[in-house]
Amino acid sequence: MIRKGGRCRAALSLTTTALLTATAFTALSTGAEAADTLGSAAAGKGRYFGTAVAANHLGEAPYVSALNTEFTSVTPENEMKWDAVERTRGTFTYGSADQIVNHALGRGMKVRGHTLVWHSQLPSWVAGLGTADLRSAMNNHITQVMQHWKGKIHSWDVVNEAFQDGGSGARRSSPFQDKLGNGFIEEAFRTARAADPAAKLCYNDYNTDGVNAKSNAVYNMVKDFKSRGVPIDCVGFQSHFNSASPVPSDYQANLQRFADLGVDVQITELDIEGSGTAQANSYANVVRACLAVSRCTGITVWGITDKYSWRASGTPLLLDSNYNKKPAYDAVLTALGGSPGGGTPGAGCTATYSKAEEWGDRFNGRVTVTAGSSAISTWSVTVTVASPQTVATTWNGTPSWNGNVMTMRPNGNGSLAPGASTSFGFTVMKNGSTAAPVVGACTAS
């Protein structure tokens, strides 16, 4: 009994710490019984589960519901690329990427930065520069962009796709390679470290997922960087698979040999063309490989729904174009140790807590209830305050009580259109504790 109580208290105080350091968090449900999510199951294994996000879909309710429900990390799909942030030399535009970053950070998700130095989606003015000018443009680009999001980006793809496909192990021709030579990668990483020392700095590439000539070349570069103290923290494996380029049988071994060099490994752009059981099995193999490598810190899929995949015709993602979970979704969730529940992620409602006004003896809390991808006719949310706190007053809802657990229901009509929100509030008397209340699952019907 005593041990059990002790464990319970430890778990509670961990939760409290997490709440105090977060600005807001979301409690989720797809109905009366909440299924596990990709993000929560991955968190149980100490990993993040992310997705590429496009800013222009953030107005689509089921897109946002699935994003908020399932994922704990985001990568802007195109919005941080050179042609998006510095289309004209020296003029930086961050608006679309900021939309994604703010959405993610406001909900406690991590952000991967993608990408600083890449031959593609590169404005033509860069290719037109002479050597000295190109060097300063590259370093300025890295510095400006990283400083804009300083402290907000978990990992940056500093250099993307610098090696050639095939057996040569050579560098790919690009303005950077052709004018600055092999040293451009090292220079980019050193500049990046100075710009945001807290961000993990990754090299990211594709067709490097198994042991082959291209991954050997990247391996040798990382090994050299580690031996000479060039700052590199992680290697990203894009992991774009299809029948011509299936998940390699030595995928896990390849991740492990990089991890053994002393870097983290991340699966950064996972998508697998196909359908049904075959696709599901391939996805499960990727997840199991990552979980088997302790330095594999997270998995990002390259989009939420087949509807918006860059390879939509290959239906390579976990949700179909109507946002329904595919067999691949269930396989990933199961491989992560979660229990699948079917349906559409976030179809019910979500509840997000934020702290409002605060005084010496009390503070106001606000919970925003947002309908998912379907209309709902009513909702309920539990709010638990930590004893000796008490709730002095509430507004915009009808509370009922069970000890220190308040169940809030709507005042009168609780119907919400898909994606629509309402909020309720309450005043917590601190009685010596500033702990944030714990908001339970939002239940809709």
Interacting residues with ligand XIL (CB under 6 A): 77-78, 160, 238, 269, 310
Least distance (Å) between residue 77 CB and ligand XIL: 5
Q: Return the number of the residue (83 or 343) whose C-beta is nearest ligand XIL.
A: 83
CA 39 to chain centre: 9
Q: Which amino acid is at 71?
A: F
Least distance (Å) between residue 400 CB and ligand XIL: 48
Least distance (Å) between residue 53 CB and ligand XIL: 11
Give the position of tokens 């390579």: 316
Q: Are strands 24-29 and 349-358 parallel, antiparallel or unpaired?
A: antiparallel
Q: Return the number of the residue (78 or 281) whose C-beta is nearest ligand XIL.
A: 78
Least distance (Å) between residue 241 CB and ligand XIL: 12
Q: How many CA atoms lie within 13 A of 248 on its CB side?
A: 18
* Cα angle 207-40-266, degrees, rounded to a multiple of 5: 20
> Is 298 within 8 Å of 42 (Cβ atoms)?
yes
- In the residue annotation, 269 being an active-site residue is answered as yes
Catalytic residue among 77, 79, 86, 269: 269
Determine phi and psi for 344, rounding to 5 degrees: -110, 125
Least distance (Å) between residue 121 CB and ligand XIL: 6
Q: Return the number of the residue (94 or 310) whose C-beta is nearest ligand XIL.
A: 310
Q: In what order do the strands lie in the sheet with 362-371?
A: 24-29, 349-358, 362-371, 421-429, 390-395
* Strand ranges in 321-418 using DSSP code E only, listed in sequence order: 349-358, 362-371, 379-384, 390-395, 398-402, 405-409
Catalytic residue among 77, 86, 161, 273: 161
Least distance (Å) between residue 270 CB and ligand XIL: 11
Torsion 221-227-231-233 (CA) sign: positive
Give the position of tokens 């939509």: 312
Which of 341, 304, 302 has its CA nearest to residue 320?
304
Q: Return the number of the residue (268 or 382) whose C-beta is nearest ligand XIL.
A: 268
Least distance (Å) between residue 162 CB and ligand XIL: 12
For residue 216, what are its two tokens?
Answer: 């050997």
Q: Return the number of the residue (291 or 317) whose C-beta is nearest ligand XIL.
A: 317
Q: Return the number of the residue (208 or 389) whose C-beta is nearest ligand XIL.
A: 208
Residue nearest to ligand XIL (CB): 310
Which residues have a Cβ under 8 Å from the Cβ of 136 and sit 6 or more positions away?
none
Q: Return the number of the residue (25 or 302) whose C-beta is nearest ligand XIL.
A: 302
Which of 368, 340, 345 has its CA nearest to residue 25?
368
Compute the distance between CA of residue 75 and CA of residue 154 in angstroms, rounded to an integer: 10
Q: Return the number of the residue (60 or 77) whose C-beta is nearest ligand XIL.
A: 77
Torsion 347-300-85-175 (CA) sign: negative
* Number of residues assigned to the chain: 445
For residue 296, what are its two tokens?
Answer: 């594999």
Torsion 110-115-121-122 (CA) sign: positive
Give the position of tokens 């992991």: 239
- In the residue annotation, 161 being an active-site residue is answered as yes
Least distance (Å) between residue 403 CB and ligand XIL: 50
For the annotated catalytic residues, the residue numbers are: 161, 269
